[in-house]
Structure 1
C-alpha cells in the first residue's frame, strides 16, 4: 500500500527574512521535495481558517511575532484547529526557536520532520486586566517594555543588519537603565512574599527576550514552571555591566539568578508593562495573577 503523504499547513510571513530562497514558492518547493503535501497560507490572512481535518501539523515560517500570532489565534479558537507546530525561523531574533534548540537551517529542520519528536510548550495567562492576557515568551514590567516604547518611536528599518539592530536596541536599553527610576513591586508566590524597589521584572517562559537577551539560560517552556527574574534597584550596576559586556560580544551570563515559580500574584506601581512583543496599555497598579497553562501546545523538534 502506498504511504500517505503527511499534510502540512504552512503559515508564512512574507515579510520575514531577507533571503530570497525562503520566499513563498521556494518554501513550498523545499517542503514538497521532502514528500510532504503543503497547503500554503500567508500569516497576513486568516491563517487557520478552513484548516483540513487531514492536516497533520502546522509549519510556521517567520519570526517570534508570527509564532505568537498563530498560537494566540489557536487560543482564540479554543484550540479547535490545534495541531503540532513546526517552526521555521525566519525572523530577526528567533528567541523561541533558539530556546527550543531548533536549527536556523530551514532545510535541516524540514529534513527532521520525518522522524520528529513532540515537545510540550506551556502558555502563560494573566488575569486582572479588563481582558485576560496570554504570553508564550515573557511578561513583565519596567525596563524592557520601556525599551519597546522607545524603539517604537524610532525608525529601526535603517539598521544595515540584524546585528546592528540588536546593538542599537542594547545601546538604547543601556541609556534607559541609567535614568530609569526604580518602582515598587509586590510579588506573592506559593512560598514567599517579595516587596522591593525594582528596575525590571520578567516572568520568562523561554530563555531569551527582545534583542536576544538571555535572562534565564536554563528556562524550559515545557517544564511546567516559569522563571521569574527581578532586577532590584541596588543591582543596577550589575545589569549595566552585563549589557556593556553583551555589546562588546563577550557573551556574558546574566548575573541575577532566576526563581522557578508555577503561579504568582503581582502588583507594580509603574505603568510600563508588556506581554511578549506587545505593550500593555492602561495598567494602573491593579493586582494581577499569573498562572501557567501546562503543555497547552506541542512543538515539533
Structure 2
C-alpha cells in the first residue's frame, strides 16, 4: 500500500493547549507526510463511522482527551481498536510524557512511517456501583482532595500552564500539611499492609497531577501497577518533595513504589479519584483492582524510547 493511501482517524480537542494547533494546521502537516485524515472534534462521537482501512487513531489534545477516547473504545469492547498515536498539547501531558512522546506535533507525525508499538495496560476497579477503568492512576487521599480544591478555586487569573502548575503545587502543599491520616488496608498480590495514610496511589504511568513523577520506572505496558503508599509518618518527606518540585529541584520521589498485579484496598475515607474523575459518593471504600494487560497499543518514536 502506498504511503498516500494511509488513512488516519484524527480526534482533535480544539481547546487543548490554548488552541495552539488548529484543525487546518494539523491536517496540513498530515497531508504533507502522505496521510489522509478522517477528522472529528473530540466533543463529537469520535469513533463513529471508522472505516475498515483506517490504519490508526491519532489523538490531538491532552490527558483528558486521551482518556475520553480510550474509555469510548472500551465501551465499544474495542470494536474499533487500532494503534493509538498521540499528539500531545494539553497542560500536563502526563500520559505522553510517561511514554517518552515528544510534544512537537510535526516531529511526531514525521515518525509515523517508522515507529514501534508499545503495549499499554488498563486498570479495572470493582466495588463501586459499576466497574471503573483507568489508564493513569487510581488513588485516595491527597490527590483527589487536590482535584476537589482546584475545582472550587477561581482560576480566571491563570494565564499559562506554568501558573497553573504553581497554583496546583501551592494548594497541594497546604493539603499535605493538614490532611488527616486515614485508616488503610491494602493487599498487593497477597501481602497486606495496614497503616494510617495520607495517600495511596495505584499508578499505571509514572506521573500524576501537576507532572509529579511518583514512580521513576513505571511502565504502562509491563503488566504491573506501581503502588505508592504515603503513611502519616511520611508526611514531612512528601512535603519536602513537593517543596523541591515547586522550587525547580526535580529530585526522585523518596518513597519506593511496590509492584503488583492484584490489589484489594480498604480506605476509611471519602476522597477517591479515578484518573481525573473525582468520586465523593462514599464515606469508605472497598475496591478490588486488577490489570488488563496489553489491552491497547500506542505508537512511539523509536528514537524517543526510554
Alignment TM-score, normalising by the size of structure 1 = 0.97
Structure 2 residues not aligned, in runs of 5+: 301-306
2:133 is the alignment partner of 1:134: yes
Aligned to 1:247: 246
What is the CA–CA distance in structure 2 between the aligned matches of 1:157 and 1:126, rounded to whole Å? 35
Rate the CA distance shift 1:274–1:107 in 2: closer, same or farther, 3 A. Answer: same
Rate the CA distance shift 1:52–1:2 in 2: closer, same or farther, 3 A. Answer: closer
Q: How does 1:172-183 map to 2 (within 5 A)?
A: 172-183=171-182
Aligned to 2:211: 212
Residue 4 of structure 1 deviates from its aligned partner by: 5.5
Q: Cα deviations across residues 179-207 of structure 1 (Å, max 9, x unaligned)?
A: 11000001112241111000000000000
Further displaced range: 236-245 or 150-159:
150-159
What is the CA–CA distance in structure 2 between the aligned matches of 1:36 and 1:198, rounded to whole Å? 50
Secondary structure of 1:122's counterpart equals strand
What is the CA–CA distance in structure 1 between the aligned matches of 2:3 and 2:121, rounded to whole Å? 33
Q: Cα deviations across residues 246-291 of structure 1 (Å, max 9, x unaligned)?
A: 1100111110000100111111000000000000231232421000
Question: Could you tell me whether the CA contact under 8 Å between 2:4 and 2:34 is conserved in 1?
Answer: no
Question: Could you tell me whether the CA contact under 8 Å between 2:3 and 2:35 is conserved in 1?
Answer: no
Aligned to 1:5: 5
Rate the CA distance shift 1:257–1:16 in 2: closer, same or farther, 3 A. Answer: same
Question: Could you tell me whether the CA contact under 8 Å between 2:269 and 2:285 is conserved in 1?
Answer: no
Secondary structure of 2:112's counterpart equals helix
What is the CA–CA distance in structure 1 between the aligned matches of 2:141 and 2:3, rounded to whole Å? 54
Q: Cα deviations across residues 38-76 of structure 1 (Å, max 9, x unaligned)?
A: 110000000001111111100000000000000000000
Further displaced range: 153-162 or 24-33:
153-162
List structure 1 segments (4+ residues) > 3 angstroms apart after TM superposition.
1-4
Task: Provide the alpha-carbon RMSD of the alignment.
Answer: 1.2
What is the CA–CA distance in structure 2 between the aligned matches of 1:4 and 1:35, rounded to whole Å? 4
What is the CA–CA distance in structure 2 between the aligned matches of 1:124 and 1:31, rounded to whole Å? 32
Aligned to 2:304: none
Aligned to 2:221: 222
Rate the CA distance shift 1:95–1:52 in 2: closer, same or farther, 3 A. Answer: same
Secondary structure of 1:73's counterpart equals helix
Q: Cα deviations across residues 218-249 of structure 1 (Å, max 9, x unaligned)?
A: 10000000000000001100000001111100
What is the CA–CA distance in structure 2 between the aligned matches of 1:14 and 1:164, rounded to whole Å? 21
Residue 19 of structure 1 deviates from its aligned partner by: 5.5
What is the CA–CA distance in structure 2 between the aligned matches of 1:210 and 1:87, rounded to whole Å? 19
Structure 1 residues not aligned, in runs of 5+: none
Secondary structure of 1:283's counterpart equals coil
What is the CA–CA distance in structure 1 between the aligned matches of 2:70 and 2:215, rounded to whole Å? 22
Question: Could you tell me whether the CA contact under 8 Å between 2:61 and 2:89 is conserved in 1?
Answer: yes
Q: How does 1:97-136 map to 2 (within 5 A)?
A: 97-136=96-135
Further displaced range: 151-160 or 183-192:
151-160
Number of aligned positions between the proteins: 300
Question: Could you tell me whether the CA contact under 8 Å between 2:4 and 2:36 is conserved in 1?
Answer: no
Aligned to 2:166: 167
Aligned to 2:261: 262
